[in-house]
Amino acid sequence: MPVISYDLPDRFVAGAIGRPGERTFYLQARSGSRITSVGLEKFQVTMLAERLEELLDEVLRRSGGSASVPAVTPAELRDDAPLDQPVEEEFRVGTMALAWDPQEERVIIEAQELTSGGGVEPLSAEPGAGDPSVAVLRVRITAGQARAFAERALKVVAAGRPPCPLCGLPLDATGHVCPRQNGHLA
């Protein structure tokens, strides 16, 4: 499988399809009419968004404010539109990596395909240098686009089932068996 690359895509978002509790999560990149969607788990969306925020805050802190990293999401980059249709999953994500390119002031996000054995190959700095049978989505975006991505991703995750006030696990419409209630419905 090739490395699927997007350098400053028109759109790069996280989204979900389905009802809370049954949602499928995706990363989606689009440039012109070319669209790539990869499936991943809810916790992966959360971790990616949180790590992006941490990376951007660290770059901003280390640069003393000289890097072109916005402290908050620029209003013109906010994107609340649904995923582009049709959503056709290229692969399921196993491993993700983040990097900052200081020369071009870009965030690099890589999502590597989950292999059948559940293992993953280490992500390489050079496209195509890893196992050619493992697909990789590589996206290069501005710091502003990264802030917008993280903000939206956290909203998508938060739009799911509300947490149990006792244990924090997601509540179903009928409640759930709560460990803090010794297995009784909460």
Q: For position 148, what pLDDT does the model report?
A: 97
Cα–chain-centroid distance for residue 27? 6
Sign of CA dihedral 112, 116, 121, 126: negative
Q: Select the more confidently predicted residue: 169 or 7.
A: 7
Q: Name the phi and psi angles at 180, rounded to 5.
A: -80, -10
* The pLDDT value given to residue 114: 92
Give CA–CA dist 154/135, Å, rounded.
26
Digit-coded pLDDT (tens) for 64-116: 877 788 888 999 999 999 999 999 999 999 999 999 999 999 999 999 999 87
Query: Given a cut of 70, is residue 128 above it in pLDDT?
Result: no
Q: Phi first, then psi: give them for residue 161, nearest 5 degrees.
A: -65, 145
59 pLDDT above the threshold of 90: yes
Residue percentage of the chain with pLDDT more than 90: 63
Q: How would residue 184 be classed by pLDDT, with cut points 50, 70 and 90?
A: low
**Angle 127-62-140 from CA coordinates, rounded to 5°:** 25
The rounded mean pLDDT for the chain is 87
Q: Give the per-residue pLDDT at 168.
A: 75
Distance CA 27, CA 29 (A): 7
d(CA 38, CA 150): 17
pLDDT tens for each residue of 17-51: 998 888 999 999 999 999 999 999 999 999 999 99
